[in-house]
Amino acid sequence: MKSIVAVGVWAYMVLAVVAEVETFYLTTSFATVASVVTVLATSQAVAVVLFYMQLKDEQGSLRLFALIPIMFLSALLIAMLASLGGK
């Protein structure tokens, strides 16, 4: 990967942080802020994994392996929150 791409990823990360903070200041709705920061934080994580950790250049099996903990964790988070729902 060329260094210019890495700088581009960094620029995206900076913009995403600024966007998160701006959303917080501009919006009073908790749901809106939560949605925006979830999307932006996830996109930042994906960018770092693909480019800085260079998963995009790795074998497909490693990419699949990297998804396993995300899958288990998603199940935990969703069910955990659902378990608060009561009867």
Partner 1 sequence: MTDTWLKRWLYTTNHKDVGILYFFTSLYFGFVGAILALLMRAQLAAPGSNLLSAAYYNQALTMHGLIMIFWFLSPVALGLANYFVPLQIGAKDLAFPRINAMSYWIYLAGGILAVLSFFVPGGTANAGWTTYQPLATLALGTGPTLAYLGMVLLAASVTLGSVNFMVSIIWLRATGMTLSRLPMFTWFMLFTIIAMLFAFPTLIAAFVLASTDRILGTVFFTSTSIQPSILWDNLFWFFGHPEVYIVLLPGFGIIANILPAFTGRPLAAKNAILISTGLVVIPLSFGVWMHHMFLTGIPVSLQGAFSIATIAISIPFDVITLSFIESLVRGRVKFATPMLFALGGVILFIIGGITGVFLSSPVLDRAFRGSYFVVAHFHYVMVGAAIFGIIAGIYYWLPRMTGRMYNEKLGKWHFAISFIGFNVLYFPMNLLSDMPRRIFTYPNQGDWATLNAMASVGAFIFSGAQILLAANLLYTWFRGPIAPANPWGSPDLEWTSHVEGIAPIAESGAAPPTGGWIGQLSGPPQGHETQSRGGAVGHYGHLSSRPIQISIGALVFLIGAAFYPSISGVAGLVVGAGAVVYAFWGWAKDDIEGKFVVPPEDVGDRWPFASVPKLKLGIWVFLSSEVVLFGSFLGAYIFIRAASAQWPAAGSIHEIPLGTFNTLVLVTSGLTMFLALQSIRKGDRRGLLTWMGVTFVLGAVFMGVKVSEWFNLGGSGFVLADPAMSLASSAYYIIVGLHGAHVTAGLLVMAYLMKKTSMGTYTKDSHEAIENFGLYWAFVDIVWCFVFPLFYLL
Residues that bind partner 1 (CB under 8 A): 3, 6-7, 9-10, 13-14, 17-18, 20-21, 23-24, 30, 33-34, 37, 40-41, 44-45, 48-49, 51-53, 58-59, 61-62, 65-66, 68-73, 75-77, 79-87
* Closer to partner 1 by Cβ: residue 56 or 75: 75
Helix, strand, coil shares of the chain, percent, nearest 5, are 85, 0, 15
Work out how close the CB of 87 gets to partner 1 at its nearest, in angstroms, rounded to a whole number. 6
Cβ–Cβ < 8 Å for 36, 19: yes
Alpha-helix runs per DSSP H in the chain: 3-26, 30-47, 60-82
